Amino acid sequence: SALDELFGESQYAQTAAEAEELSQEIWTFWLHPDVPELDRRIGEASELIRVGDYPHALSALSSIIKDFPDYSEAWNQRATLYYLVHDYADSLADIAKTLTLEPRHFGALTGRAMIYMQQGRREDAMRDIAAALKIHPFLDERQLFPDMAPPVTYI
């Protein structure tokens, strides 16, 4: 699939700009599914999060998950919402579901690493950020782990 090709290319990105371009294409796939109703609903839920209407965003995302339980990005968006309101237990549960549905979800891996860091679970955070970096070697969150080797950049 086109998504598989993007993931294949992202692992071998030579520059941060190339990695970012591929990452944006992957996010476009995740956030704009082929099902028009689902695309509309996830767009509405994302907008509710963006404007800070968390109660309605939670309701919208939970409804999407009920109707489309195999849509990984709905789980990831709800995990992000839970993270924003400091509900780490529910965020971690939704991240786990996201990763079950899409093991290459570098956003979910990064989010879990951030929670683990806040919980003082540095070893777990390092494991997740390392897994995310295998998928997207130029993640901005890398800078939160200064002891990790930087990616090699070719000009």
Q: Give the tens place of pLDDT for each residue, 98-146.
A: 999 999 999 999 999 999 999 999 999 999 999 999 898 888 887 777 7
Mean pLDDT of 46-74: 97
- CA 140/CA 19 separation, integer angstroms: 11
Residue 150 has pLDDT above 60, yes or no: no
Give the pLDDT band of residue 1 (cuts 50, 70, 90).
confident
Residue 52 has pLDDT above 90, yes or no: yes
- What pLDDT score does 153 carry? 54
- CA 108/CA 84 separation, integer angstroms: 14
Q: What is the mean pLDDT of the chain?
A: 92
Residue 155 has pLDDT above 60, yes or no: no
**Which tops the pLDDT comparison, 22 or 148?**
22
- What pLDDT score does 138 carry? 87
In this structure, what token pair is assigned to residue 129? 């950020």
Q: Give the tens place of pLDDT for each residue, 64-80.
A: 999 999 999 999 999 99
SS (H, E, C) the chain: CHHHHHHHHHHCCCCHHHHHHHHHHHHHHHHCCCCHHHHHHHHHHHHHHHCCCHHHHHHHHHHHHHHCCCCHHHHHHHHHHHHHCCCHHHHHHHHHHHHHHCCCCHHHHHHHHHHHHHCCCHHHHHHHHHHHHHHCCCCHHHHHCCCCCCCCCCC
